[in-house]
């Protein structure tokens, strides 16, 4: 028996029709997180440092962030966090902590009681010799959805789940992502285009780097996707199949969104590596794309219509078929569709194409 992705307590009468085909049976299984009904919202926070290139001192900054998430008041610490890094299209190297809290109130308490806010707001951050950034998402539960290929290995927000679902019906057809979002039952979730900063920035230097702090306004129905892949436990034959067929088209799709994404409504995209929390080395065979779209429709349009994603989706169907739908490759995504006050983006000394700063460009 297939389960419905939207839990009972978030269901309401639809004014926006679902896209599920009649008598639909997914070609391969998918699962979603089930959270406690009392959970009204959650937080995903990316906090990191940016350098013009990889240096020998990269770990000093991220170690400070790790101390905040691991040594703050125990009851206010994140439920889950990990360390991640990326080299972006400008060649800048970012290393960050990505962390999750069970509520926005809990996250705000942690910011205050751990001393993080005092540290972050200090003018010293503008003199540390490298960039800093915070990207915080605070969706209500009706504006967040997950899907997983494997029910046994939680990723990201799933580390806070009450349980994993059974096999889903709303999975692996065009429009299924929207059908899994409770808010989309009666809201088209349309965006309104270009972002601006909030006036706190003090301009940019000649090389395109912000001279001080830049805070970006939230925008209606900003759509954020974190989409991950983990091939660390694949058997040799499947690992070779993944690296020869799936990974190259994934990288191509992420590179298109990173470099040319503005033409399809994508403000920013990077393919991050999960790194060792002590050595900060990559090579753990786990990556995730983190992308910001002007709205859900833009993400859907790229997914359904652009050749780079057609190659990814079609390639995965062939990949799964070759393995008789028995995969040790683990895939997941989280999608957020956010109100303006559910977003916080601040950048200190980062280049002008960092994250949501890129949304201000013409």
> Tokens 């013409």, residue?
362
**List of residues 6+ apart from 45 with CB closer than 8 A:** 78, 98, 99, 100, 101, 107, 134, 135, 136, 137
pLDDT mean over 342-352: 97
SS3 62: helix
Round the average pLDDT of the chain to a whole number and report it: 92
What is the reported pLDDT for 194? 52
Choice among 74-88, 191-205, 228-242, 311-325 with the minimum mean pLDDT: 191-205
> Higher model confidence: residue 220 or residue 361?
220
Taking the C-alpha atoms of residue 133 and residue 49, their distance in angstroms, rounded to an integer, is 6
DSSP output for 280-294: ----SSEEEEEEEES
DSSP output for 123-186: GGGGGSSSEEEEEEE--BGGGEEEEES-SSS--GGGGG-SEE-S-BSS-SSTTHHHHT-GGGGS
Is residue 201 scored above 50 in pLDDT? no
Confidence of residue 207 (pLDDT cuts 50, 70, 90): very low
Taking the C-alpha atoms of residue 232 and residue 188, their distance in angstroms, rounded to an integer, is 38
pLDDT mean over 134-155: 96
State the Cα torsion 11-14-16-22 to the nearest 10°: 90
What is the reported pLDDT for 26? 93
SS3 333: strand
Confidence of residue 208 (pLDDT cuts 50, 70, 90): very low
Structural domains present in the chain: 25-34+141-189+221-340 (3.30.70.100), 43-139+192-218+341-360 (no CATH)
Is residue 209 scored above 80 in pLDDT? no
Choice among 79-93, 262-276, 318-332 with the minimum mean pLDDT: 318-332
């Amino acid at each position: 028996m297939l389960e419905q992705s939207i839990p009972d307590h978030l269901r309401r009468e639809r004014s926006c029709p679902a896209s599920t085909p009649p008598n639909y049976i997914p070609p391969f299984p998918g699962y979603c997180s089930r959270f406690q009904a009392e959970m009204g919202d959650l937080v995903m926070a990316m906090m990191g440092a940016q350098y013009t290139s990889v240096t020998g001192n990269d770990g000093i900054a991220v170690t400070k962030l790790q101390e905040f998430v691991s040594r703050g008041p125990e009851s206010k610490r994140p439920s889950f966090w990990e360390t991640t890094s990326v080299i972006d299209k400008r060649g800048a190297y970012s290393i960050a902590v990505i962390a999750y809290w069970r509520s926005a109130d809990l996250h705000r308490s942690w910011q205050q009681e751990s001393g993080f806010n005092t540290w972050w707001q200090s003018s010293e951050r503008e003199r540390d010799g490298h960039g800093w950034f915070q990207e915080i998402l605070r969706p209500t539960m009706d504006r967040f959805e997950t899907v997983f290929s494997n029910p046994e290995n939680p990723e990201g927000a799933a580390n806070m789940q009450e349980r994993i679902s059974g096999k889903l019906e709303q999975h692996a057809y065009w429009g299924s992502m929207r059908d899994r979002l409770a808010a989309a039952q009666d809201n088209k979730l349309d965006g309104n285009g270009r972002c601006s900063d909030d006036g706190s920035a003090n301009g940019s230097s000649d090389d395109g780097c912000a001279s001080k702090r830049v805070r970006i306004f939230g925008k209606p129905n900003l759509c954020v996707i974190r989409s991950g892949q983990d091939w660390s436990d694949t058997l040799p034959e499947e690992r070779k199949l993944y690296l020869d067929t799936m990974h190259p088209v994934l990288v191509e799709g992420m590179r298109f969104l990173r470099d040319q994404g503005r033409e399809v409504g994508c403000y920013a995209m990077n393919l991050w590596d999960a790194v060792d929390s002590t050595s900060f080395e990559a090579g753990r065979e786990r990556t995730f794309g983190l992308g910001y779209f002007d709205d859900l429709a833009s993400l859907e349009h790229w997914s359904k219509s652009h050749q780079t994603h057609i190659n990814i989706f079609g390639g995965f169907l062939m990949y799964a078929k070759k393995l008789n739908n028995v995969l040790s490759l683990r895939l997941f995504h989280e999608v957020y569709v956010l109100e303006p006050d559910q977003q916080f983006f601040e950048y200190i000394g980062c280049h002008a194409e960092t994250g949501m700063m890129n949304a201000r460009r013409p």
